[in-house]
Amino acid sequence: MTTENILNEENNEENNEENNGEQVNEEVNTSEEAESNTSSEFEIGDTVRGTVYKIEDKFVKAHIEDSDFEGIVPISQLTNKRIERPEEIVSEEDTIEGVVIKVENEEDRKNVIFSIRKLDETNAYDTLQSAKDNDETITGTVMEVVKAGLVVDVGVRGFIPASLLSDAYIEDLDQFEGQELEVKVEDIEPEKNRVILNRKRIVEAEKAEERKKQLENLEAGSIVEGEVVRITTFGAFINLGEVDGLAHISELDYSRVEKVEDAVNIGDKVQVKILDVDPEQERISLSLKQAQESPFSTFVNEHSEGDVLEGTVKRLVDFGAFVEVTPGVEGLVHVSEISHEHVATPSDVLKEGQTVTVKILSLNEDSEKVSLSIKETTERPSREEQAKVYRDDSDDEGPTLGDVFGDRFRDLDI
């Protein structure tokens, strides 16, 4: 077989590779004629070694060790990478090794056509299969960015689908071109030159490890910064780095919060106090309000029992009224402390939003409770004013209580 024939075959292989858009899958001539020309010294599939002595544009020639055969490696069989010239891969005097793909044994010509690429691929597939079986991490270089993912060199051409690139959607795949990436082997079919790689599992494992470390380092009682990332009806989820914690609606502010959106918005940077950490369940309880100075503490420092001040009725309940005396501090006016007169239902004499004058009856710093009184800020009615309840000043001609009961109430002290 002449060098010209080799080059013609090489050109045909290149054309097939361009038309198919994938690696050339060599077909070996196993016809009876080829078999008759095959020497017993070399067989197709043998591994041979040689020393490069000549480099042409489309092939490389080498002296085969311990043989009078000449080795020829077509440019397409040097590497699985796309190259323009053999010099990109080999130099004269290099020792090369490959798999025999054709043998020419004639009286005046003894050639061995061999493939470095096929040997590299065989070794690479063995390594990849072992990595898959043992769930090992390997490193590859991104050769090409395509619409559906990344083509990666891992000894052979592997592919990372966009869906297996990360645990989150990545819009710009071009950022990975030329980068080295750590990947797992998801699927491998050597006979189809098919290798599917997975980077998402690496990303997820790294984040899981970071979450574990952060959970171990978080301490209850410490104050940290976070970002509001999600809002629900019962609270806000706040990202602390690799983990999220929950601040219940009752822990958003010292003032009563009706809707979470009234206290925080997504994207807000906030200071939070860590209330509790459960590493096993990856749960973190947080408080925004406790990361701030308590308004009750400030109130206690500025006021004492007996002080009279104004407040706003916030809530009415059967047993009394809650009055806000300063932002974030509410005190209870028991129903018995609303008026000197009997009050059956607080809503009979008070309305939410009403401004009232109250007197501090007691301050409990431990429980942060304030007892208030409205009636203590007003004078008790005199007996004469109380007696007016029994007086009838109408012009009604009907019988009076005196007419009915006569002198029966004369001796009563009212």
Q: Please indicate, yes or no, whether residues 286 and 306 belong to a single structural domain of this protein.
A: no
Q: Please indicate, yes or no, whether residues 106 and 67 belong to a single structural domain of this protein.
A: yes
* pTM, to two decimals: 0.54
**Which residues, in sequence order, are CB contacts of 63 under 8 Å at separation 6+?**
50, 51, 53, 70, 71
Q: Domain for residue 365, yes or no? A: yes
The number of helix segments (H) and strand segments (E) in the chain equals 7, 20
Q: pLDDT band at residue 24, thresholds of 50, 70 and 90? A: very low
Q: Which of 66, 85, 119 is the last residue of a domain?
A: 119
Q: Please indicate, yes or no, whether residues 265 and 233 belong to a single structural domain of this protein.
A: yes
285: CATH: 2.40.50.140
Supply the pLDDT for residue 9: 52
Q: Domain for residue 87, yes or no? A: yes
Give CA–CA dist 195/143, Å, rounded.
14
CA 154 to chain centre: 28
Give me the torsion for CA of 220, 223, 224, 228, rounded to 10°.
90
Q: Please indicate, yes or no, whether residues 61 and 96 belong to a single structural domain of this protein.
A: yes
CB of 376 within 8 A of CB of 361?
Answer: yes
Q: What is the pLDDT of residues 141-174, one digit of tens each?
A: 999 999 899 999 998 899 999 999 999 899 899 9
Supply the pLDDT for residue 384: 63
Q: Domain for residue 281, yes or no? A: yes
Q: Please indicate, yes or no, whether residues 111 and 166 belong to a single structural domain of this protein.
A: no
Q: Domain for residue 229, yes or no? A: yes
**Which residues, in sequence order, are CB contacts of 37 under 8 Å at separation 6+?**
103, 104, 105, 106
Q: Please indicate, yes or no, whether residues 287 and 306 belong to a single structural domain of this protein.
A: no
Angle among Cα 407, 410, 414 to the nearest 5 degrees reads 140
Q: Please indicate, yes or no, whether residues 69 and 91 belong to a single structural domain of this protein.
A: yes
Lowest mean pLDDT among 22-31, 257-266, 356-365: 22-31
Number of alpha carbons in the 13 Å side-chain half-sphere of residue 179: 11
Q: Which of 228, 263, 291 is the last residue of a domain?
A: 291
Say whether pLDDT at 347 is over 80.
Answer: yes
Q: Domain for residue 409, yes or no? A: no
Q: Which of 373, 390, 409 is the last residue of a domain?
A: 373
Mean pLDDT of the chain: 84
Say whether pLDDT at 41 is over 50.
Answer: yes
**Which residues, in sequence order, are CB contacts of 34 under 8 Å at separation 6+?**
102, 103
Q: pLDDT band at residue 254, thresholds of 50, 70 and 90? A: confident
Give CA–CA dist 355/352, Å, rounded.
9
Say whether pLDDT at 39 is over 50.
Answer: no
The tally of domains found in the chain comes to 4
Q: Domain for residue 145, yes or no? A: yes
Share of the chain above pLDDT 90, in %: 60
Say whether pLDDT at 288 is over 70.
Answer: yes
Supply the pLDDT for residue 320: 95
Q: Please indicate, yes or no, whether residues 268 and 328 belong to a single structural domain of this protein.
A: no
CB of 116 within 8 A of CB of 73?
Answer: yes
Supply the pLDDT for residue 21: 33
Q: Please indicate, yes or no, whether residues 197 and 223 belong to a single structural domain of this protein.
A: no
Domain membership of residue 162 as a residue range: 135-203
Share of the chain above pLDDT 70, in %: 82
Q: Report the sign of the C-alpha dihedral through residues 41, 47, 53, 58, in that order.
A: positive
Q: Please indicate, yes or no, whether residues 90 and 154 belong to a single structural domain of this protein.
A: no
Say whether pLDDT at 400 is over 80.
Answer: no
Question: Which residue in 5, 119, 114 sits closest to 63, CA to CA?
Answer: 114
Give CA–CA dist 237/244, Å, rounded.
6
Supply the pLDDT for residue 386: 57
Q: pLDDT band at residue 383, thresholds of 50, 70 and 90? A: low
Q: Please indicate, yes or no, whether residues 156 and 197 belong to a single structural domain of this protein.
A: yes
Q: What is the pLDDT of residues 67-105, one digit of tens each?
A: 888 999 999 999 877 888 999 989 999 999 999 999 988
Say whether pLDDT at 52 is over 80.
Answer: yes
Give CA–CA dist 229/268, Å, rounded.
8
Q: Domain for residue 348, yes or no? A: yes
Q: Domain for residue 74, yes or no? A: yes
